[in-house]
Structure 1
Amino acid sequence: MPYKVSHGKAIQVTYSPDEVFSRIQHEGIQFIDLQFTGLTGHFHHTTISADTFTPEQMRDGLPKLDGSSIIGFTSIDDSDLLLKPDPNTFAIIPWMTENKTARLLCDVYWGENRGRLSRDPRGIAQKAEEYIKTQGFDFSTWGPEVEFFVFDKVHWDVLTPYKGQSYSIESKEAPWSQEGNGYPMGLQEGYYPSTPSDTLTPYRNECVNILKNNFGILCDNHHHEVATAGQCEIDIKYDHMTNAADAAQSYKYVIRNVAQKYGKVATMMPKPIAMDSGSGMHVNVSLWKGKENTFFDPDDEDELSQTARYFCGGIINHAKALSAICNPTTNSYHRLVPGYEAPAYIAWSSGNRSAIVRVPKHLRGKQYSNLKRLEFRAPDPSSNPYLVFAAVTAAGMDGLKKKMDPGDQVRDDIFKMTKSDRAKRGIGVLPKSLGEALDELESDRKFLNPIYTNDVIDKIIELERRDQREISIRPHPHEFYLYFDV
């Protein structure tokens, strides 16, 4: 749901269909971009003339979608789908000035009144929100911290497999740059540098302003991240589940398009640079009853309620299976290794960033009870935020129902522990590959069933197994260095 800022305060804005059509007329909108998200998290769109857009189409949907052409949606023999615009997502796209264009996010339905497409990710998030209400809560709040890279240029050659495969990354900030700005950053030395080392401050400023002024998405902080070569983070204000996932998808859309304006390219690839930190999408979550944050307990040492502990227990117990949804690419598992700040070990802690679940400790007291949350640090930005939030909900609610104990929190740096030390303390390890994660999901999938249908889980596994095979049948360039003289 969009926001506006009035007298320093963020106020949610809702639009009725009539108000959308009024804005289209008064703003001189010529085209409407109908946007939706596929099962794999890719953003899709089709564009219609504003002159032909009617209130009936807003209400009943537009017959504009062949579901068989969207990966993971439908088969070719039954593929007629409707796009139903959500008026609350109306936004004017600022870089489309010549032919003024607005966007609307859409829900995906079957034709002929057959109901919602089960594989529509936005519908899965909405289903998760309803499930939370059936369990005695009013709503949940979600704050994704999406990291990404902005490069000057990227080249790769993968279309000539018999010749070989290669890639190259160019960035003025990188220590390998031949045309740098004179202040390069070393590997893992990119956290909070000042200008001129940080070359992307104007870019991030523009992204933040567009997100607020055009898309109604509030960002309270932005900065360069740990990795060299243009790793960035822009923090989104927390919101209800579907709104937060909408914001994450719109965020990706904005940062890519603004990067193109600057002659650069932005990527959500979790680990594009070897020997450097990867990009995560830390997920902050809390459950609410009215104005009460049920994760807050003033009498607990960490101000963390039993509700939050059981929710955390669900995440811990299902962490391996969650990896297939929260880390859905083969590249994701190059990030989830010790030594690069990404959590590889299954544990929780207050303030300890080596655990997969962290309880932030910045501020204490009743006046900050709204900030009490769990931060799930394993997900990465290649994931589909609608699916991630819904899966984390399913895991956490399973923990609540079954009163799953998350175990003792781990205050020590897990990266420095020996394997035997971790075993003694019951600290597990996240899957080391996408194939392993999919094996875990196949054996531990029932916890998803209150929200996910089996056909959705099956399709996720099928698509990710395909990617796994694509990588497994091809030699890696570094293998030549290791094995050519064997």
Structure 2
Amino acid sequence: MAQFTTISEILEAVKEEELDFIRFHFSDADGVFKELDVPPALLESAFSKGLPFDNSVGGTFKPTGSDLMLKPDPRTFSILDYGRQNYGRVVCELTFLDGQPFDGCVRSALKLFVRKIYQAGYTFSVSSSLSFYLFDASFVASGESFSPSPETIMKTEAVKREILSALNVAEIDIVSLRQMHQGGPISIVFKEGSVLRTADNIMTAKYLVTDVARRHNLHASFMPKPATTMEGLTTTFGFTLMKDEFNEFYHPDQEMMISDKARGFIAGIFKHIRAICAVTNPTVNSYKRIVQKGKAPYYVSWSAVDRHSLIRLPSSRGRATRIEVQNADSSCNPYLSLLVLIAAGISGIDDNLKTIPAVNFETHDYSESEKQALSAGTLPNTLREALLAFNNDALIREALSDSISSSIYQTGIFEWSDYIGCVHTWELEKYL
């Protein structure tokens, strides 16, 4: 993402471009960028000292008291000049006023975790994808299945072109932006990058997609399952473990040409997957996507062939060998999702865990009992099940800070309680 190597280069570019403001972005607890627009005159001081910030605006994991500092990361600075706009933006971390890391900052949590595992000998790179829908006002109002009008189709094409331009300006490298059919989900496939940059890229892409759609009078949705008849939205993460330019998940002489470390990584994720779902699938609606006979993974299995498995091994080997996790949805917070998935995978490597056999065929037409027999269980059926597993999983909770873990659990339980207290359309149609 970075197009500048020093802070002085950034300050000079801001002056030359005559930018009116710099947009400071930071992630809230739900994985959505909050923003503050800052005059250029304050940028140099913000880089060196931070910018005082009252987090009572909401959306963060709150400490005692409300005053924090926004500390911009100069490596994320870019000038966004797409769509007749021209302003600077930078991704920030939250610290206490004395400069110490705030334990509720999700970006800092991932950054510190990556540093810790690097010191233990682990260096990961990640490929990823993000899917979303573009709706017009009629769908947002009704929530029924979506059949776009000719006008909406034309707007969608314009939005896709402008999203590509915006991603390019933000220096986010992608493989493709694709939509398989009109009215269907749109997917951005990102190029492989470092763990932190991958999370930054997903967050920035969400922001840009939402911004571009809004200015074309469309609504960008990352809701996991917008309607019963519609395809769910996915975020995928493909992990590669590197050491001295060598992919440690690859082994040419072992079955499927993957190493014991790869199998341990898979086994670690399987062991903790029900707790992980509280992070990767964080809403009530997430579990409308994870159902039997659906396209999303439901059974805990892995395969190089079956595209409905929880973990998929793409066919490439050698340097390109990767482990692709497919259960996360587009509402997830990528900072926290990457953290817990890697923590679980590393635990499997360190503990020499053994995984179940791979599924070497497509299971789409198999019965549910046959799929169950090939798996290590199922994903949670509800947010409540995931939260209970999360609350009882010491490794996943300890990988996060106490502040973040407690907030995930309490916020989720509140959402679940609110949901089950509501009378829904299905109940009215069935029982009234």
Bin of the TM-score, shorter chain as denominator length: over 0.9
Distance 2:387 2:266 in 1: 22
> For residue 98 of structure 2, what is the aligned residue in structure 1?
112
1:74 aligns with 2:74: no
> For residue 136 of structure 1, what is the aligned residue in structure 2?
121
Q: Is the 8 A contact 2:143 2:227 kept in 1?
A: no
> For residue 171 of structure 2, what is the aligned residue in structure 1?
216
CA deviation profile, 1:248-303 (whole Å, cap 9, x unmatched): 00000111111123221111001002122100101111111121111122223422
Which residues in structure 2 correspond to 1:217-296 (within 5 Å)?
217-225=172-180, 229-296=183-250
Q: Secondary structure at the match of 1:233?
A: strand
Of 408, 411, 415 in structure 1, the residue corresponding to residue 360 of structure 2 is 411
> For residue 21 of structure 2, what is the aligned residue in structure 1?
31
> For residue 399 of structure 1, what is the aligned residue in structure 2?
348
2:319 alignment partner AA: N
Q: Secondary structure at the match of 1:285?
A: strand
Q: Secondary structure at the match of 1:277?
A: coil
Q: Is the 8 A contact 1:142 1:284 kept in 2?
A: yes
Q: Is the 8 A contact 2:299 2:372 kept in 1?
A: no
Of 130, 149, 153 in structure 1, the residue corresponding to residue 133 of structure 2 is 149
Distance 2:220 2:277 in 1: 24
Q: Secondary structure at the match of 1:375?
A: strand
Q: Is the 8 A contact 2:82 2:166 kept in 1?
A: no
Distance 1:96 1:36 in 2: 23
> For residue 124 of structure 1, what is the aligned residue in structure 2?
109
Distance 1:258 1:419 in 2: 42
> For residue 72 of structure 2, what is the aligned residue in structure 1?
85
Of 309, 313, 317 in structure 1, the residue corresponding to residue 263 of structure 2 is 309
CA displacement at 1:81 relative to structure 2: 0.3
**Quick one: percent identity of the two aligned structures?**
25
Distance 1:423 1:231 in 2: 29
Distance 2:87 2:374 in 1: 56
1:428 aligns with 2:412: no
> For residue 441 of structure 1, what is the aligned residue in structure 2?
390
2:22 alignment partner AA: I
Q: Secondary structure at the match of 1:318?
A: helix
CA displacement at 1:119 relative to structure 2: 1.3
Distance 2:205 2:324 in 1: 20
1:452 aligns with 2:407: no
CA deviation profile, 1:59-79 (whole Å, cap 9, x unmatched): 11000x22233234215x511
Q: Secondary structure at the match of 1:105?
A: strand
Distance 1:340 1:94 in 2: 41
Q: Is the 8 A contact 1:268 1:381 kept in 2?
A: yes
CA deviation profile, 1:358-396 (whole Å, cap 9, x unmatched): 0011x45xxxx2321001000001000000000101100
Distance 2:389 2:94 in 1: 29
Distance 2:395 2:199 in 1: 24
User: TM-score scaled to structure 2, two decimals?
Assistant: 0.94
Q: Is the 8 A contact 2:61 2:404 kept in 1?
A: no
Q: Is the 8 A contact 1:327 1:379 kept in 2?
A: yes
> For residue 159 of structure 2, what is the aligned residue in structure 1?
203
> For residue 424 of structure 2, what is the aligned residue in structure 1?
476
Of 270, 273, 282 in structure 2, the residue corresponding to residue 319 of structure 1 is 273
> For residue 168 of structure 1, what is the aligned residue in structure 2?
143
The 1:83/1:355 distance shift into structure 2, 3 A limit, reads: same
1:207 alignment partner AA: I
Q: Which has the higher helix share?
A: 2
CA displacement at 1:20 relative to structure 2: 0.8
CA displacement at 1:423 relative to structure 2: 4.7
CA deviation profile, 1:286-339 (whole Å, cap 9, x unmatched): 111121111122223422121111111111111111100000000000001133
1:389 aligns with 2:338: yes
Deviates more, 1:66-75 or 1:402-411: 66-75
CA deviation profile, 1:436-463 (whole Å, cap 9, x unmatched): 10011111132442x3122211111011
The 1:38/1:380 distance shift into structure 2, 3 A limit, reads: same
Aligned-residue CA RMSD in angstroms?
A: 2.2
Q: Is the 8 A contact 2:305 2:359 kept in 1?
A: no
CA deviation profile, 1:62-106 (whole Å, cap 9, x unmatched): 00x22233234215x5111000111111112225746x4211110
CA displacement at 1:354 relative to structure 2: 1.6
2:71 alignment partner AA: K
Distance 1:234 1:29 in 2: 29
Distance 1:351 1:414 in 2: 9
Q: Secondary structure at the match of 2:61?
A: coil
Q: Secondary structure at the match of 2:257?
A: coil
Q: Is the 8 A contact 1:116 1:123 kept in 2?
A: yes
CA displacement at 1:26 relative to structure 2: 1.2
Distance 1:88 1:425 in 2: 45
1:62 aligns with 2:51: yes
Q: Is the 8 A contact 1:154 1:170 kept in 2?
A: no
Distance 1:34 1:71 in 2: 15
Distance 1:96 1:206 in 2: 7
Which structure 1 residue ranges, 4+ long, deviate > 4 Å from structure 2?
A: 95-98, 154-157
CA displacement at 1:205 relative to structure 2: 2.8
> For residue 289 of structure 2, what is the aligned residue in structure 1?
335
2:20 alignment partner AA: Q
Distance 2:196 2:203 in 1: 11
Q: Secondary structure at the match of 1:351?
A: coil
Distance 2:216 2:265 in 1: 42
Q: Which runs of 5+ in 2 are unaligned?
A: none
Q: Secondary structure at the match of 2:19?
A: coil
